[in-house]
Amino acid sequence: MRVALLEKNKLGFIDGKCLKEHYKSDLEHEWESCNAFVLFWITDSISKELANGLMYSINAHNVWVELKEHFDKKNLTRVYQLLREICNMSQGAASVSQYYSKLKNAWDEYWSMVPLPCDCEKCKNYAEHMEQHKLVQFLMGLNETYEQAKSQVLLTVPVPILNQADNMIMQDESQRS
């Protein structure tokens, strides 16, 4: 949702940077129109039951804060489930592409719940370390038929990023079929 609002240059309506008080006289009508657009977009993107509870809301920022307080909770149970799923995930009968997509979705959900605390150098180093960890997890979950391709990825200098490794393994899969 944030990406779509950013693309439409409307993110300020939910993060509190674009408040009605900042727009007087001629622009007040424009603010109302944009706020209504964002409110409609939010309520149209959620379930009907949730939208019904927001029917009389008039401020997109307040709605966003309310939804965030309700849903943006650190759910340790879900974090546990995701890590367990990631650690136990393997390719099985799926194609490399299907396996990679499933694994990537689990990682993305995990990192949305447990983001890095800052943009400092230590966190950047940790993020790079975790990217390498994800690469190893991806390779470990591949079927045994990809042993040679896995070795090739692991011996590549510099170590390829995850997307490059996925591409290398998919090329190997294509050659096999």
Per-residue pLDDT of the chain (177 residues; tens, 9 = 90+): 777 788 888 888 888 888 888 887 778 888 999 999 898 888 888 888 877 888 788 899 988 888 887 776 667 888 999 999 999 999 999 999 999 999 999 999 898 888 888 888 888 899 999 999 999 999 999 999 999 999 999 999 999 999 999 999 999 999 988
Record the pTM.
0.63
Rounded CA-CA distance 110/113 in Å is 5
153 CB-contact burial (10 Å; exposed 0-12 / middle 13-18 / buried 19+): buried
- Residue of 138, 12, 40 whose CA lies nearest to 21: 12
